[in-house]
Amino acid sequence: MAKTKTNPKTKSSMKIALAIFAKTIGFSAVKTRLAESIGIQKAEEFYQLCLNSIEELVLNIQVKYRGLLIPYWAIAENQAIDNPQWQTFNSIWTGNGGLGERLDNVYSQLLKNHDYVMLIGTDSPQLQPEFFNNALEHIIKNRELVIGPCTDGGFYLFGGGIEIDRSIWVNTQYSQSDTMNQLIENLKPQTPHLLPLQQDVDVLEDIYTLSNILENSKISASQTKLRNWIGENIK
């Protein structure tokens, strides 16, 4: 059961950690399901462009919430913590185990030194600042859990300021069509605030959808490079 964490701090003294879960190319295989369709090299190129898009997004958000939002790379490989790829933000190791164990490790570790923790991945490179503004303002104002649902049944963002039992993370089955619903059920009696539905990219068909989203959105420089790469490399 999730446990409420008493927190009397004001916005001016609050600290919110934003952990970006990522893998290091050359240390781990990335976008493996996508690589089955477009090859390992292109899958790695795509993944790097997604990383760049998320990094630029977080840098832009950090400007607005300077002193409040503290970004971290949550790296899958302990030996890659000092890799030049991860110099923009502080880096922490996710620890070993499955995704549930890693989510618990990062969330619980950061909650020790921050009032709130937000967790995101790199599979939704189309995200815009307003999604994070929505999540952050809700956290600051209402002090509640937030979760961003994905079209495949997972979630692209989780945020909270309460202690969560490890069993909740571990007993949730990931990469399932009902992953988010499982997590929400396991969190009861806490009920997360739902953010707007978004897509993530796991397979080739998802890239076509992503391309359409980027074509019809106001996008950053990194997202523009991603859109152009898709146009040049994915037929």
Residue 68: inside a domain, yes or no?
yes
Residue 35: inside a domain, yes or no?
yes
Residue 102: inside a domain, yes or no?
yes
Residue 4: inside a domain, yes or no?
no
Q: How many domains does the chain have?
A: 1
Tokens representing 203 are 């397979």
What CATH number has the domain bearing residue 112?
Answer: 3.90.550.10
Residue 6: inside a domain, yes or no?
no
Q: Tens place of pLDDT for every residue, the chain, 235 residues?
A: 555 444 444 455 789 999 999 999 999 999 999 999 999 999 999 999 999 999 999 999 998 888 889 999 999 999 999 999 999 999 999 999 999 999 999 999 999 999 999 999 999 999 988 888 888 888 877 778 999 999 999 999 999 999 999 999 999 999 999 999 999 999 999 889 999 999 999 999 999 999 999 998 899 999 999 999 999 999 8
Can you give the residue range of the structural domain that contains 193? 11-230
End-to-end CA distance of the chain: 47
Residue 5: inside a domain, yes or no?
no
Residue 211: inside a domain, yes or no?
yes
DSSP string for residues in the chain: --B-------GGG--EEEEEEE--BTTB--SHHHHHHH-HHHHHHHHHHHHHHHHHHHHHHHHHTTTTEEEEEEES-GGGTT-GGG-SSEEEE--SSSHHHHHHHHHHHHHTTSSEEEEE-SS-TT--HHHHHHHHHHHHHH---EEEEBTTSSEEEEEESSB--HHHHHTSPSSSTTHHHHHHHHHTT--PEEPPPB----SHHHHHHHHHHHHTS---HHHHHHHHHHHHH--
Residue 70: inside a domain, yes or no?
yes
Closest CA to 125 of 227, 194, 197: 227
Tokens representing 141 are 């104002």
pTM (predicted TM-score): 0.92
